[in-house]
Structure 1
Amino acid sequence: MKANMSENMLSNKDLLPLQPEERNWKAVNFASIWMGCIHNIPTYATVGGLISIGLSPWQVLGIIAVASLVLYAALALNGHAGAKYGVPFPVLIRSSFGIYGANIPALLRGFVAIMWFGIQAFAGSTAINILLLNLWGGWKDIGGDWNLFGLHLSGLLSFIFFWGIHLLVLHHGMDSIKKFEVWAGPLVYLVFGGMVWWAVDIAGGLGPIYSQPGKFHTFGEWIWPFLAGVTGIIGIWATLILNIPDFTRFAASQKEQIRGQFYGLPGTFVLFAFASITVTSGSQAAFGKPLWDVVDILDHFDNPYIIALSVITLCIAAVSVNVAANIVSPAYDLANFLPKYINFKRGSYITAILALFTFPWKLMENEASVFSFLGTIGGMLGPVAGVMIADYFVIRKCRLNVEELYSVNGRYMYYKGYNYRAFAAVALGAFISLIGAYLPALKPIYDISWFSGVILAFGTYIVLMRIHPPSAVQTQTAEYTAGGSL
C-alpha cells in the first residue's frame, strides 16, 4: 500500500504514514516540547497583561490552570488520529475538507506560523542585542546611521544570527527537533527557577506578591474577564491544536502522547504563570515599577554573567517554541501543497526564509494591530479544530481509510476535491465568534471566541454531514487499524 501511495502527486516520503518502527517518541519527548514551548516572551507578556487589567495573582493562576486543562484535552483529542495512523495534519485534514480543500486551512495555518516565527525570532534577537551591548558598548554604533526599515545594523546582525540558529536545529529534520527539545525544556526551567529565587528575595517573600487584591470582587464582576483570559491563553496555542498530529504521529503509542502532553502542559503552564507573576512583582520591588517584558528586566541588570545566562535561556526558549509551533506545521503544509517539489526539510528552510521577509521589527511598531490581526486569523482557525474533531470522532468514529487519503478516486474526494460542509461550518463558526468585535451586543461571544467558534463549527459540521451525507460516509468501513500493515 505504501508503495502505491508514493506513486501519486499527493504524497512524498515525509507525508506518507510512518511505519511502527519509526514511531519512537516517548512521553518525555512530548512533555519536553511543552516545557520548552510555554516559556517564551509573548506568553510572559500575556500573563502580565492579565494582571494589568485588574485580575489578582490568584485569579491569573486560576485562568492558566483552566486554560491549560482545556488545551490539554483539545491537544490529546486532535492528536489521537496522528498517533493511530502515523500521518501529519495536512493529510489527516483531507478526510474532512477534501483532498484539495485541505490545502486552504493548512496554508492559512502555515501563514500564521510564518508570521509568528518572525515575531518570536525578533523577540529573541533583542535579548542577544542586550547581551552584546553589555559586553561591548560600541556595538550599538556599528553601521552608523544605516538602517533597514528602521532597524540599525547591530539589531539586524543580532536578528540574522538568531535566525540562523534555527537552521542548525533543523539540520536533521524531526529527529534533531526531538533531541533539542529534550534538553532545552529542563534548562529553561532551571534558569527561570533562579529568576524566581531572585524575585522572592527582592520582594521579601511570596506573601507581598500574592496578597495583592484584584479589582474584580464578586462572581459577576470577574467571571467574564476570567473567561476572556482563558480564551486569550488558548488562542495563543490554537494553531498548535490543529497540527499536533505532526508530532503525535511519532508517538510509540497512544498512551505515550496522552501521558506526555499531560505531564508537559497543565503543571508546566501553572509553574510558568507562577514564575511570571513572581518575577514581575520582584521587578517592581527592585526597579520601582512592574516590568511585564522579561527583556526589559534583563536590561536593568548590570551583572554580565546573569545577563549572559538569562539571554542564552531566553534564546533557547524562543528557538524551542519557534521550531515546535512555527516551523513544523508550515513545513508539512508547504510539502502537502507541492509534494513533488517540497519535502519537510525544504519546507522548513522556505518557512525560515519567508519569515525574514515579514520584517517583524516593523510589525512590532504597532504590536496591538499585529496581535489583533493574528488573533483574528487564529479565531478563524479555531473552528477548523471543531470540524476536525467532529469528523474524526463523531462522523468517522476514529476510523479512516489511510490509502484513500492519498487518492483522487476515494471517499475523501467529495466534489472535485472539496467538502463544502466543512467550509460552511468553519465560516459560520468564525463569523459568529468574531462578529462581536464589531457588534457590542455580541461582545461576550467574541470574548470567548475560541470556545464559541469550536462549538458552533463542531455542531454545524455534524448536522450538515447528517442531513446531506456524502455517499462514501454512509458505507464507510475500517480498512486500516492502528499498528496494521500498510
Structure 2
Amino acid sequence: MSRWSILKDGEKSNSLSNEDLLPIKQEERTWKAVNFASIWMGCIHNIPTYATVGGMIAIGLSPWQVLAIITIASLILYAALALNGHAGAKYGVPFPVLIRSSFGVYGANIPALIRGFVAIMWFGIQTFAGSTAINILLLNIWPGWGNIGGEWNLFGLHLSGLLSFVFFWAIHLLVLNHGMESIKKFEVWAGPLVYLVFGGMVWWAIDIAGGLGPIYEQPGKFQTFEEAFWPFVGGITGIIGIWATLILNIPDFTRFAKSQKEQIRGQFYGLPGTFALFAFASITVTSGSQVAFGEPIWDVVDILAQFDNPFVIALSVITLCVAAISVNVAANIVSPAYDLANALPKFINFKRGCYITAMIALFTVPWKLMENETSVFSFLGLVGGMLGPVAGVMIADYFIIRKRELNVDELYKVDGQYTYYKGYNYRAFLATLLGAFISLIGFYVPAFKGLYDISWFVGVFVSFVGYVALMRLHPPENAAVSTEYEQKVASK
C-alpha cells in the first residue's frame, strides 16, 4: 500500500491517519546533522537543566564528579535516542504511529497521550519560568511595571506577571507558524545564540573566583567510593530523567532525517559534545559563585541579579527566553501535537495539535502549580517514570521482535497485523506496568529506595525483558503473518 493509497482509503485516513501522520516521502526528508545538533543545543541550555547541574554542586558533589556525571548521562542518553530514533529515520513515521507496532493501533493512544500530558504540563511550567525573566527585564527598564494593576491578581499572579506570561506564551505561537519547518529554522540559530549568555556567565565566574584553579580544586563532601556512589548514580538518573520523555518521541524528529547517518551524527554532536560544554559552563558559574560568596548560586535568575549593567541583563534575559522557547518547542509541543493528531486524526492535524497544546498549557495555571514545586515535580517525575518502561517496550519490539523490519502499511489498518486484540496488545501494557511498578516502588517503600534511585534503568530493563518474554511465551495470533512479512522484506 503506497502513501497515496492510504490517503485515498476513507476508513483508514479518518480513523488512523491524516496527512501529518503518514510516512514522510524520501525527498521531503531534509534534516541534516546540523539540524539535530541545533535541536539539542537549544534543548540543553535552559534554566531547569542549569538548576539540576547547579543543584548537584549544592548537595556536595565536586565539580569533577558532576562533570563525570554529565558525560556518562549524555552518552547513555545519546545511545537511547539513536536507537529509538532509528525507526523514525528508516520509515518516516512519527512516535504515536510507530508505537502501534507494540501497543496496538488503538492501544498506542494511551502511552502517547500520557506523554502528551506530561509535555503540556512542562510547557506551562517552562513558559512561566521564562516569563519571570521577562518580568525582571521589564522591572529594570521600568520600575513602576510591578505596580500596574494595583492589588488585582489572577489566582495570586499580579497583572504585570500575567501580562509577561501571556506575552511570552504568544511568542511560541509565532515560532509554530509554519509547523516543523519553522521549528527547524528557529532551532538552527536559537541553539548557538544561547552560548552568548552562558559564555558571559563563565567569564564572570572565572573573574570573581580568580581563575579556573580555585573553582575546580574545590573538594566534594563525598570522599570515599561508598559515600559518592549513590549520589553519583542518582545524578546520572536525574539527568536522564529530564530527557527520558524525549527518548520516546525522538522519531517525531528523526523521521525528517535525510539519512540514518545524519540523525546519528547530529545527535552525537548535539548531545555529548554540547552537554559537556554546558556542564562546564554550569559547574564553573555555580562553583565560581561558591568561591566568591561562600555558597553556590544554582539559580541562573539569581546569577543575573549579580549584574548591574542593564545591557547585560537585557541580553541575558532575551537569550534565556530564546532557550526556554527552544526547549518548549522541541520537547513540549511537537510530541503532544502528534499525539493529539493520532488520537483524533479526522479533526486534528499537526499544526492544530500545536495550537491546542498551547491553549491547554495556558490554562494549567503554572504559577499556582509552582507554589509547591516539590509536589508538582514529584508528580510529574512519577508520571514520567511510567514512560521509561515504554521506551524499553519500544526498543525491544523494534530490535528484538521485529528485527528492525516493520510493515508500514499495516500500521494504518484497523484490522491488520498490529491490531492484536481489538487494537490493544496486552503484552506491552503488562510489561510497562511491571517495569513502572518495580522502578517506582522505592518512592513509597524505603527498603527499595535503591531501585528508585536508578528508576529509569530499572524500568527500561524490566519492561524490555518482560515484553520479549511475553511475546515469546504467548505470541499474537498474527505472529506468523509478521514473520512472513519480515522475512520477505529482509530478502529484498
Q: Give the secondary structure class of the aligned counterpart of 2:111.
A: helix
Greater Cα offset, 274-283 or 32-41: 274-283
Q: Equivalent of 1:478, from 472, 486, 489?
A: 486
Contact 1:18 1:87 in 2 (8 A): yes
Which residue of structure 1 lines up, in the alignment, with residue 113 of structure 2?
107
User: For 1:154, which of 155, 160, 166 is the aligned residue?
Assistant: 160
Match of 1:348 in 2: 354
Whichever residue aligns with residue 4 of structure 1, its letter is: S
Aligned to 1:42: 48
Tell me what 1:215 maps to. Answer: 221
Task: Tell me the CA shift for residue 481 of structure 1.
Answer: 6.6
> Within 2, Cα distance between the matches of 1:285 and 1:447?
30
Deviations 1:380-419 (A, max 9, x none): 0000000000000000000000011000111100000000
Which residue of the partner structure matches residue 5 of structure 2?
A: 4
Aligned-residue offset at 1:228? 0.8
Q: 2:344 maps to which residue? A: 338
Given that 1:17 and 1:87 are in contact with CA atoms closer than 8 Å, whether structure 2 keeps it comes out as: yes
Q: Decide which of 148, 173, 176 is 1:170's aligned counterpart.
A: 176
Distance 1:314 1:232 in 2: 22
Aligned to 1:24: 30
Structure 1 residues 126 and 28: alpha-carbon distance in aligned structure 2, compared to 1, 3 A threshold: same
Shift of residue 195, structure 1, vs aligned partner: 1.3
Name the % identity: 80
Distance 1:121 1:384 in 2: 27
Deviation at 1:220, TM superposition (A): 1.4
1:68 aligns with 2:98: no
1:387 equivalent among 390, 393, 418: 393
SS in structure 2 of the partner of residue 217 of structure 1: coil
Query: Could you tell me whether the CA contact under 8 Å between 2:215 and 2:291 is conserved in 1?
Result: no
- Provide, for residues 263-307 of structure 1, a one-character-per-residue CA deviation record: whole Å limited to 9, x for no partner: 000011111111111112333455554221111111332211000
- How far apart are the structure 2 equivalents of 1:21 and 1:429? 39
Q: 1:329: which partner in 2?
A: 335
2:312 aligned residue (296, 306, 316): 306
Task: Quote how far apart the aligned CAs of 1:49 are.
Answer: 1.2
Distance 2:383 2:314 in 1: 36
> Does the alignment pair 1:195 with 2:196?
no
Amino acid at match of 2:91: Y
Separation in structure 2 between the aligned mates of residue 473 and residue 45 of structure 1, nearest angstrom: 48
Q: Decide whether aligned partners of structure 1 residues 382 and 56 sit closer, same or farther in structure 2, where only a CA change above 3 A counts.
A: same
Tell me the residue number matched to 2:420: 414
CA distance in 2, matches of 1:480, 1:41: 50
Measure, in 2, the Cα distance between the counterparts of 1:288 and 1:357. Answer: 41
Please give the TM-score of this superposition, normalised by the length of structure 2.
0.96
2:185 counterpart SS class:
helix
- Give the stretch that moved more between structures: 472-481 or 89-98: 472-481
Secondary structure, aligned partner of 1:291: coil
Are 2:363 and 1:363 equivalent residues in the alignment? no
What displacement does 1:480 show? 9.2
**Does the CA-based 8 Å contact 1:89-1:242 persist in structure 2?**
yes
The amino acid of 2:118's aligned partner reads V
Assess, with a 3 A threshold, how the Cα gap between structure 1 residues 284 and 134 changes in structure 2: closer, same or farther.
Answer: farther
The answer for the alignment partner of 1:95 in structure 2 is 101
Amino acid at match of 1:229: G
Q: Determine if the alignment matches structure 1 residue 374 to structure 2 residue 380.
A: yes
* 1:40-94 deviations in Å (ceiling 9; x for gaps): 1111111111112211111011110000000000000000000000000000000
What TM-score comes out, normalization by structure 1 length?
A: 0.97
Q: Could you tell me how far apart the structure 2 residues matched to 1:479 and 1:139 are?
A: 68
Corresponding residue of 1:433: 439
Cα pair 1:401 1:479 within 8 Å, conserved: no
Q: Is the CA contact (8 Å cut-off) linking 1:390 and 1:462 kept in structure 2?
A: yes
Counterpart amino acid of residue 159 in structure 2: L
The residue aligned with 1:136 is: 142
CA distance in 2, matches of 1:454, 1:305: 47
Amino acid at match of 1:94: R
Instruction: For structure 1, list consecutive stretches of 5 or more residues without a partner in the other structure.
Output: none
Query: C-alpha distance in 2, partners of 1:217/1:299?
Result: 33
Does the CA-based 8 Å contact 1:402-1:480 persist in structure 2?
no
1:275-286 equivalences under 5 Å are 275-285=281-291
> Which has the higher mean CA deviation after the structures are superposed, 289-298 or 145-154?
289-298
Distance 2:350 2:179 in 1: 7
The answer to whether the 8 A contact 1:280-1:290 is kept is: yes
Secondary structure at 1:5 match in 2: helix
**1-10 or 218-227: which moved more?**
1-10
Query: For residues 422 and 66 of structure 1, what CA distance do their matches in structure 2 show?
Result: 29
Distance 1:213 1:287 in 2: 17
Preserved contact between residue 57 and residue 286 of structure 2 (Cα < 8 Å): no
Change (3 A) 1:53 1:155: same
Matches within 5 A, 1:279-298: 279-285=285-291, 289-298=295-304
How far has the Cα of 1:474 moved from its partner? 3.1
Rounded Cα–Cα distance in structure 1 between residues aligned with 2:82 and 2:395: 11
Aligned pairs (5 A) from 1:191-270: 191-270=197-276
Alpha-carbon shift at residue 479 of structure 1 (Å): 8.7
CA–CA separation in structure 2 for the residues paired with 1:149 and 1:299: 27
Native 8 Å contact 2:63 2:287 kept in 1: no
Answer with 449-458 or 214-223: which moved more: 214-223
Q: 1:301 aligns to what SS in structure 2? A: coil
The range that moved more, 164-173 or 471-480, is: 471-480
Contact 1:401–1:480 under 8 Å retained in 2: no
2:321 is equivalent to residue 315 of structure 1: yes
